[in-house]
Structure 1
Amino acid sequence: MAATASFSFTSAHGPRTMTLAYTRTGTGEPLLLLHGIGHHRQAWDPVVGLLAAERDVIAVDLPGFGESPALPEGLPHDLATMNAALAALCDTLELDRPHVAGNSLGGLLALELGREKFVRSVTALSPAGFWSPAERRYAFGLLQAMRQGARTLPLPVVERLSRSAAGRAVLTSSIYARPARRSPAAVVAETLALAGAQGFTETLRAGTSVRFTDDVPGLPVTIAWGTRDRILLRRQGIRAKQVIPRARLVRLPGCGHVPMNDDPALVARVLLDGSRSTAAPAAQHA
């Protein structure tokens, strides 16, 4: 069951109040987990148990996704607003500069939090924002097609497809390299989450002009990319390394865009290594 946190934060449009849903488990230094566009906090379920042995793990539904309502009326789903909301969430939960890990949109948000020094380390899995214009158009087109498919398919059809490995591939092969590993219940839940995501259109619109071009000095940064990512192609990891030259760039063999399901042990190890206080191990270049 999710908990909720309600808090006030200052935006470019003045002070606002909002509520976010989250789960929290484990002990150790805090690690905040941020999912991608159209997904929900359960994207992290395959690795949460592995992480919780060493970290206080907080998985949040971003505004307008999962069980979290959209941002208050009149606020854009842009990086500045999301940054302010997530920083206020951390204050409310008494997280003193947590480690942060994010996937896709969540990876971009994690890097933004790192750039603003709100966190003590960043691990970004296939982060958005390192695309060329053509790569962004391709990714956004694929995401919109996925969203349309999720909204069009009747629930009984989704449930029937989820019961077979081939059906789960139909529903989720865009994000997973190994969709058969995802449970039928999880596939149904994330298809419904994509179809019902209130923040999807506004978030995608806000991303049209986004490119991450700033270094993130002064804290450990890990960037990891699946070798079978079909949404954000792995060559974008090389660009990310050029923008953030001190970052550790890690290759995730056989993993898709949402790698937590494809290889939970590897991803958990990357996240734990990225959030250690000691020096990170040598990179595997993507």
Structure 2
Amino acid sequence: MQYTTWFRRLAIALTATLSVLSAVAIPLAYAWEPPESDYRSQYLSRVESRYADTDLARFHYTVTGSGSPVVLVAGGALWGYSWRDVIPELAQRHTVYAVDLPSQGYTELHRRDFAYDLPAMSEAIGAFLDAVELPRVALVGHSWGGAWSLYFAERHPDRVERLALLDSPGLDAEKAPVTPLFTTPVLGELATKLTDRSFYAESIRGTFVHQELVTDEMIDEGYAPFSRPENRDGFLALWRNLDFGLTDAGLARVGAPTLVLWGGQDSWLPSSQAERLAARIPDATARVLPGCGHTVHEDCPAAAIPVLAGFLG
């Protein structure tokens, strides 16, 4: 499995670093900052970036189409680029917002005490919706973005018309295999900072079955914002602070019709979670797409996007 290759390579690099640089491992983990990517997004030259300033953050987002509002929330270490194939299809019937939340893309935090946990990420969703004057929306979230969206729907059922969760943790159940690496002090800091473009690429490949779809552009578009120090720090904090016991406890409070969409060959979270998650949400349906990985909407766009569009339609 691709994630195993990435995990093994990263573990070897960390072991070598700790062996050779044991005397400076802690300074390396906590003081050293890796260089940022100098890649300039080609995607942003093809779309119109917008910004919503709030007390919490300056949110970067795009808006496309017309009709009822749909807000897309990307997964961890991803950003609005992840939805590039989804947006044109949904925009035929909806006004589609793709927002970068704190730790993602080109959003900039104003609050330095931001907690990077489920309540804080839910608050960020609410702050963005308020800023762009959207009282009630359909929410679509992938992976961590789905968990944040789910928690928002649990806390604010009056603001969510429909909810779509794509390979999203929400149960207090199995976690991604690399979780112990990032949650261990020092090792987590080193793993995050040593994730260069090559390691980032292997991580992304681990979420795909169809490897030919993982292009150089996809890696560059994702790695460039990930390499920003504030995004790396937020990414690590999320690994340590996200408590899916909170979402698990509130599943019965989701009032919106919900689609749980999963890749059948997800190597990060088992597809068995799809049915189990849907069974706990009052008005939910699960769909598992065979031959698809964790990033189901990018790995299997021809199969996943029509299901999503039909649900929102």
* Structure 1 segments unaligned to the other structure (5+ residues): 9-16, 163-167, 277-286
* TM-score normalised according to structure 1 size: 0.80
Relative to structure 1, the CA distance from residue 98 to residue 149 in structure 2 (aligned partners, 3 Å threshold; closer, same or farther) is same
- Which amino acid in 2 is paired with 1:202? A
Q: What is aligned with 1:128? A: 169
Are the aligned partners of 1:142 and 1:231 in contact in 2 as well (CA < 8 Å)? no
Deviations 1:92-115 (A, max 9, x none): 112231111000111112212222
More helix, by proportion: 2
- How is 1:64-213 mapped onto 2 (pairs within 5 angstroms)? 64-70=103-109, 72-115=111-154, 116-117=156-157, 118-132=159-173, 135-136=174-175, 138-141=177-180, 151-152=193-194, 158=198, 170=202, 172-196=204-228, 197=231, 198-208=233-243, 210-213=245-248
Structure with higher Rg: it is 2
Relative to structure 1, the CA distance from residue 106 to residue 209 in structure 2 (aligned partners, 3 Å threshold; closer, same or farther) is closer
Q: What is aligned with 1:3? A: 50
Separation in structure 2 between the aligned mates of residue 143 and residue 27 of structure 1, nearest angstrom: 41
Q: 1:241 Cα deviation (Å)?
A: 2.1
- Which amino acid in 2 is paired with 1:200? F
- Which amino acid in 1 is paired with 2:238? T
* Structure 2 segments unaligned to the other structure (5+ residues): 1-43
Query: Equivalent residue of 2:293, what SS?
Result: coil
Separation in structure 1 between the aligned mates of residue 196 and residue 114 of structure 2, nearest angstrom: 32
Deviations 1:204-240 (A, max 9, x none): 1111564522224432111111001111111111220
Are the aligned partners of 1:114 and 1:120 in contact in 2 as well (CA < 8 Å)? no
Relative to structure 1, the CA distance from residue 36 to residue 113 in structure 2 (aligned partners, 3 Å threshold; closer, same or farther) is same
Are the aligned partners of 2:69 and 2:137 in contact in 1 as well (CA < 8 Å)? yes
Deviations 1:2-45 (A, max 9, x none): 2111113xxxxxxxx32111111111111100011111111111
Query: Equivalent residue of 2:262, what SS?
Result: strand
> May I ask how many residue pairs the two structures share in their alignment?
256
Supply the RMSD in Å over aligned alpha carbons: 2.7
Q: What is aligned with 1:13? A: none
Q: 1:51 Cα deviation (Å)?
A: 1.4
Deviations 1:241-263 (A, max 9, x none): 23214301111222111111112
Are the aligned partners of 1:29 and 1:56 in contact in 2 as well (CA < 8 Å)? yes
Query: Equivalent residue of 2:135, what SS?
Result: coil
* TM-score normalised according to structure 2 size: 0.73
Separation in structure 2 between the aligned mates of residue 142 and residue 53 of structure 1, nearest angstrom: 42
Are the aligned partners of 1:31 and 1:56 in contact in 2 as well (CA < 8 Å)? yes
